[in-house]
Amino acid sequence: MKVYISCFLVQDIEFIIASDECGVIYLANEHTHEYVNRHIERFFSQATKVTGYEADQYHTHYIEELNLYFAGKKQQLEWPLNLAGTDFQKSVWQTLLTIPYGETRSYSDIALQSGNMKAVRAVGGAIGANPVMIVVPCHRVIGKDGTLTGFSGGLDLKDKLLNIEKIQL
């Protein structure tokens, strides 16, 4: 099994993407680059890492689509995903995938939709562990009072993503 890893720029933001034949396993900005290797070692330890030209060619379509998203010309990034995490994390990430473009939800909303209103902190932890930012739209989760809260990519990027989607807080 191969895991393809590429770094690229979109609007002066450095991203890293990793994927295998099943789909994208990781997408993050420069704030979380160090986590990609840990994620691959933990969940895809038997994989051979492929970088450079071959990986960049493998990711061309994803990079083009992310550029369109940042330009406001594409609302949905319907990429095949190969999400690795605990069952609870994957359940929360599936819930995030139901948040429509241009809308937000609170952590409490996600906990309620996930079936456990008392698990707000655990939901926050699962959202923070999301390995495929933007595609699994954790940036659409805000504080109960409508404020920007935690985002692994940094609050500036979260604000930028919400502005792209024309969400005003």
Residue 7 a catalytic site member: no
d(CA 137, CA 112): 17
Q: What contacts 120, CB < 8 A, 6 or more positions away?
A: 107, 108, 111
Q: How many CB atoms lie within 10 A of CB 65?
A: 17
Half-sphere exposure of 21 (CA within 13 A, CB side): 4
Selecting among 5, 36, 138, 162, the annotated active-site residue is 138
d(CA 28, CA 20): 16
d(CA 52, CA 43): 22
Q: Which residues are catalytic?
A: 138
